[in-house]
Amino acid sequence: MSAKVTSIGLKGLEGYRVQVEAQVKDGVDSFIIVGLPDASVKESKERVSATLHSMGFPIVDRKVVINLSPVEVKKNGPLFDLAIAIGVLKSGGFLKKERIPNDTGFIGALSLDGSVLPVEGMIAAILAAKRLGVKQLYLPFDPTIPRVDIEELELLYVETLQDVLDLLGGRQPLPFNQLKSSSFNEQLLVERDFNQIIGHGFAKRGLEIAASGEHYVLMDGPPGCGKSLLAETFPSILPPLSKEAQLEKISLYQLAGAPYNSLTLPPYRHPHHSASAVSIIGGGTNPKPGEVSLAHREVLFMDELGEFSKKTLDMLRQPLENEKVTISRVHSTVTYPAKFIFIAAMNPCPCGYLGSNRNYCTCSEKQIKAYKNRVSGPILDRIDILLSLKPVNLKGHDFQGIETSEDVRARVQRARERQYERYGKEICNASVPFEQLIKQQPLTSNQQHELQSLSIKRGYSNRVQIKLIRLARTIADMRGEERISDDALLEALSLRKMEPATMPSMFAQTSAGESSDEYQKH
């Protein structure tokens, strides 16, 4: 008799239903797994056989065939062990009274003594089970991850295979929820605060705009002017992660096998410039998330941007534009989310002192040009805010009355809430489809004309023009304005000049209702 048991397979963060079909019959002693299993799945037969033997369910002189459906999808990881064991017990006649509904799933690896062990990607599997309509999910308890409560999905935590059999027989679940585990409601703690940064008012304003609309930033300046300090302090002005974002964060860190320090604090990744392209983007024989995915749901800081290899920087184009990474291999294609705020910093030249009033630049014109060309035009086009920093003179500076990160974070939260209300979901101006942005908040005809004239003069691409409009919309949200004002557009333009300059007014007053037909049609 054949038995069917439901499990969950993972393809990156995307989960899919795996039907484990087990058939136990008399014949030559053998254990076969089919359905495109990888090496870790093939080894399940040894773990399952040893576990059943230790529990008094021998399958000697029996032929066991396991089919993992859908058969055309390659199966990875040991998370099918528990489902295979239950299927063998059901097909072998060891479970006669226990009924296993079709909407009940099983995930977990088996130890030789019958223990059910945690596996990589359990949070992703739980979220996938909910989407796939699973009502009950048996899984190992892991105290290192938060206890997850999801509506319409009952999670039954177990320690051993015997616990699973007892629960199927009607015993009450074990009270694992009384054990200590991480909390989704931990207090937001930050190590650095904006009130520790002296001066740099223009740069702070630019970073606040970037946090409000999730825009990308490139900071340029000599060594020691404060670029790294500003970037390291940037997460302190970001709102805490929502529960959904926390689950995505844990899922990605689990899949990558990387530790995380906080649930509520947005992830902050700071790869060294010697990091390989695979470690930044993700990949490997069994594709794992890279730094761009581990920074999902807020900050990726790349210091010394000009020192990264040109290949690595060019590979950033897809995640910066599409907010996801697709990794293709012979047997599978995996997509990981990569929606982050990109913060980059670089020196103006190899020695760092080009344009400095304190140090003499020793770089040749050729060296300077080669250094700047490391960051290609398409990458610069994808960056919203360009900030030029200078060293701060502390002499005579007033160290009192500097805004704290908490004050800035409150304004950022209010600006984001305006965007969430306008778009009907948690999405910011930097990510919302341009058609939706411009349909709701079109530019006036005069604003459009002046923007296009200035773009031609400065050589701005269409992508940069769109980013300027997104920036202006964020600035208007921070000011509480319903429409994109001339002042908001002027400030957006000043953030593309690489210098804290005040631009003269170039827009004539127009009626609030006048709009651009061309942008409405975009």
Q: Would residue 474 count as lying in a domain? A: yes
Q: What's the confidence (pLDDT) of residue 134?
A: 94
Q: Would residue 492 count as lying in a domain? A: yes
Q: Are residues 174 and 199 in the same domain?
A: no
**Ramachandran area for residue 27 (φ above 0: left; ψ -120 to 50: alpha; else beta):** left
Q: Are residues 292 and 338 in the same domain?
A: yes
Q: Would residue 493 count as lying in a domain? A: yes
Q: Are residues 231 and 351 in the same domain?
A: yes
Q: What's the confidence (pLDDT) of residue 399?
A: 63
Domain that holds residue 21: 2-178
Q: What's the confidence (pLDDT) of residue 180?
A: 42
Q: What's the confidence (pLDDT) of residue 444?
A: 87
Q: Are residues 237 and 351 in the same domain?
A: yes
- Alpha helix segments (H runs only) across 153-266: 161-168, 201-213, 227-233, 243-256
Classify burial at 285, counting beta carbons within 10 Å of its beta carbon; exposed 0-12, middle 13-18, buried 19 or more. exposed
Q: Are residues 308 and 438 in the same domain?
A: no
Q: Would residue 187 count as lying in a domain? A: no
Contact residues for 186 (Cβ-Cβ < 8 A; gap 6+): 262, 263, 264
pLDDT in tens, the chain (522 residues): 789 999 999 988 888 999 999 999 888 888 999 999 988 899 999 999 999 988 988 887 789 999 999 998 889 889 999 999 999 999 988 887 667 888 999 999 999 999 999 988 888 999 899 999 999 999 998 877 777 778 889 999 999 999 999 888 877 766 654 444 444 555 555 678 888 888 888 999 999 999 999 999 999 988 888 899 999 999 999 998 888 888 888 889 888 888 877 777 778 999 999 999 999 999 887 788 999 999 998 899 999 998 998 889 989 999 999 999 988 877 678 889 999 999 999 999 999 888 777 788 899 999 998 888 888 889 999 999 999 998 887 776 666 768 899 999 999 999 999 999 999 999 999 999 988 888 876 788 899 888 989 889 888 999 999 999 999 999 999 999 999 999 999 999 999 875 443 344 444 444 334 444 433 333
Q: Are residues 139 and 219 in the same domain?
A: no
- Overall number of domains in the chain: 3
Look up residue 87 and give its two tokens: 């299927």
Q: Are residues 365 and 256 in the same domain?
A: yes
**What CATH number is attached to the domain comprising 81?**
3.30.230.10
| C-beta of residue 224 within 8 angstroms of C-beta of residue 345 | no
Q: What's the confidence (pLDDT) of residue 398?
A: 65
Q: Beta 136-140 vs 154-158: how paired, if at all?
A: parallel
* The domain boundary residue, chosen from 366, 394, 422: 394
Rounded Cα distance, 247 and 190, in Å: 20
Q: pLDDT tens, 366-417?
A: 999 888 888 888 999 999 999 999 888 777 666 676 889 999 999 999 999 9
Q: Are residues 359 and 455 in the same domain?
A: no
| C-beta of residue 230 within 8 angstroms of C-beta of residue 200 | yes
Q: What's the confidence (pLDDT) of residue 58?
A: 81
Give which of 98, 303, 317, 122 is closest to 219, Cα–Cα: 303
Q: Are residues 488 and 513 in the same domain?
A: yes
The one-letter amino acid code at 392 reads V
Q: What's the confidence (pLDDT) of residue 186?
A: 54
Angle subtended by helix axes 81-91 and 161-168, to nearest 10? 50
3 state DSSP class of 468: helix
**pTM metric for this prediction:** 0.83
Q: Beta 298-302 vs 268-269: how paired, if at all?
A: parallel
| C-beta of residue 333 within 8 angstroms of C-beta of residue 376 | no
Q: Are residues 209 and 146 in the same domain?
A: no
The helices-and-strands tally (H runs, E runs) of the chain is 20, 18
* The domain boundary residue, chosen from 129, 154, 178: 178
Q: Are residues 219 and 173 in the same domain?
A: no
Rounded Cα distance, 493 and 451, in Å: 9
- Sign for the CA dihedral angle at 163, 169, 175, 181 comes to positive
Q: Are residues 162 and 95 in the same domain?
A: yes
Q: pLDDT tens, 327-364?
A: 887 767 888 999 999 999 999 999 988 877 778 889 99
Rounded Cα distance, 68 and 97, in Å: 25
Q: Would residue 264 count as lying in a domain? A: yes
Q: What's the confidence (pLDDT) of residue 59?
A: 82
Look up residue 362 and give its two tokens: 């020793």
Q: Would residue 230 count as lying in a domain? A: yes
* The domain boundary residue, chosen from 338, 373, 394: 394
Q: Would residue 405 count as lying in a domain? A: no
Rounded Cα distance, 164 and 488, in Å: 61
Q: How many CB atoms lie within 10 A of CB 176?
A: 17
Q: Would residue 92 count as lying in a domain? A: yes
Q: What's the confidence (pLDDT) of residue 513?
A: 41
Q: What's the confidence (pLDDT) of residue 499?
A: 44
**What CATH number is attached to the domain comprising 341?**
3.40.50.300
Classify burial at 43, counting beta carbons within 10 Å of its beta carbon; exposed 0-12, middle 13-18, buried 19 or more. middle
- Residue 245 to residues 91, 239, 265, 266, 440, Cα–Cα distance (Å): 41, 12, 11, 9, 27
First to last CA, the chain: 61
- Alpha helix segments (H runs only) across 284-364: 291-294, 310-314, 317-322
